[in-house]
Amino acid sequence: MKTTEIDNNYDVTKLKAGDAVSFSGIVYTARDAAHKRMTEAHAAGKALPINIEGAAIYYAGPTPARAGEIIGSCGPTTSARMDDYTPTLLDLGLKVMIGKGKRSAAVVESMKKNGAVYLIAVGGAAALIKSCITACEEVAYPDLGCEAIRKLTVKNLPLLVAIDSRGISILQ
């Protein structure tokens, strides 16, 4: 199977469901608590703590790093937990979501409307994922602990296109 190398500037509308990708660039971690805060901030007319336009969000809550490490365990969490908040972020320019599991019909419709993709990471492969992370910086909501938003720099993160920008899905 051919792997497509992508980064934050890649036109994700070229990807098709089932494509293998290798992602290098900036990815923000955010789980449901951070998503809730971001959508509430937007609804209140406040700026988001990250530039969401063209961004990639990885649904993960990394554990603390041990001495000498960049990050602790950083496996994907269930993406459906973010579904209530995702259409708002997609409307604001979010282009790539990374997680595991199915997405709601509302999220898929918003992906189609906004030209975004949903990539899946292999659950249980936290050590592999961790090896692709070259830098980690906490950027927002430190009070959320492991659910704070972190800016990760990743190199050759292996992912699979689960739902493409046309709404075609490999998930049943």
User: What amino acid positions are annotated as catalytic residues?
Assistant: 35
d(CA 69, CA 164): 34
Query: What are the residues whose beta carbons fall under 8 Å from the beta carbon of 154, sequence distance 6 or more?
Result: 23, 24, 25, 26, 27, 132, 133, 134
Report the candidate in 9, 40, 39 with the shortest Cα–Cα distance to residue 23.
Answer: 9
- DSSP, collapsed to helix, strand or coil, labels residue 16 as coil
Contact 99, 58 (CB under 8 A): yes
- DSSP, collapsed to helix, strand or coil, labels residue 21 as strand
**Look-up: residue for tokens 């998503």?**
35
